[in-house]
Amino acid sequence: MLEVIDLWVDVNGTQVLKGVDLNIPSGETHILFGKNGSGKSTLLMTIMGFRRYKVQQGRILFNGRDITEMPVNERAQMGIGLAFQRPPAIRGVKTRDIFNICNSDGVSCEMLAEKFDFSSLLERDLNVGFSGGEMKKSELLQLLLQEPALILLDEPESGVDLENLETLGKAINRLLQKHLWRTRAKSGLVISHVGFILNYIEADAGYVLMDGRIHCQGNPRELFKGIQRHGYRECIQCQR
């Protein structure tokens, strides 16, 4: 579904990605590990198409189509959805309005909000005064309404207390159609810094991103164990 080929990206004059290659087939969820500042978010932001992230070389293909130069909204309409790590607060714009913007199928925002204990936040200005967990929940509910085919999650567990992690895990599994087997069509690329998310979602492959390149690929749980035991730098040495 997603194919990234030899991607080089510059952010404000700094070379952040230096030849990233990856391939996520339909129905699979991949996890990207890496230290702070390794370029994980840059990769997601570039796949989504934000202007600050300048592609200097390489291509991004989505369902076989080259989207490297495509505007953000067209990528969204084609089926790419991103849950932000730190979404902006937008004063005066009600969370409900954003939910309605995302809602493609006329799903009831009220019912969804109630199910995820989010009803009281619908009338609030988007992300104004939200806790970390509330922001994350809002992001995931927006994606549930948007129903993208490729789901990009930027550190979905950061800033969320343990109690809420399980609810978020449920939302993520639903997004990724983890209840389906043969007919599962949704793919995911999840960034994790601390790896907690592995306890809540089943991932098919994991990578380590370091110094702007992907260094190894493997079973995500084993990979994460290695990272925990040896640290990132040593981990990529041994896997290599």
Cβ nearer to another protein, comparing 51 with 179: 51
CB of 91 to another protein, least distance (A): 6
CB of 190 to another protein, least distance (A): 17
Cβ nearer to another protein, comparing 142 with 164: 142
Cβ nearer to another protein, comparing 61 with 72: 72
Q: Which residues, 6 or more positions from 173, have their beta carbon under 8 angstroms from its beta carbon?
A: 179, 200, 201, 202
The distance of Cα 231 from the centroid of its chain, to the nearest Å, equals 23
> Is residue 36 a contact partner of residue 209, using CB atoms and an 8 Å limit?
no
CB of 104 to another protein, least distance (A): 8
The per-type count for the chain, helices as H runs and strands as E runs, is: 7, 12
CB of 149 to another protein, least distance (A): 13
Distance from C-alpha of 110 to C-alpha of 145, rounded to nearest angstrom: 12
In this structure, how many other beta carbons lie within 10 angstroms of the beta carbon of residue 63?
14
Cβ nearer to another protein, comparing 33 with 84: 84
Instruction: Let me know the angle formed at the C-alpha of 51 by 45 and 55, rounded to the nearest 5 degrees.
Output: 75
The distance of Cα 121 from the centroid of its chain, to the nearest Å, equals 23
CB of 52 to another protein, least distance (A): 8
**Residues in touch with another protein (CB under 8 A):** 48, 50-52, 71-73, 76-77, 81-82, 84, 87-88, 90-94, 97-98, 101-102, 125, 142, 146
Cβ nearer to another protein, comparing 84 with 224: 84
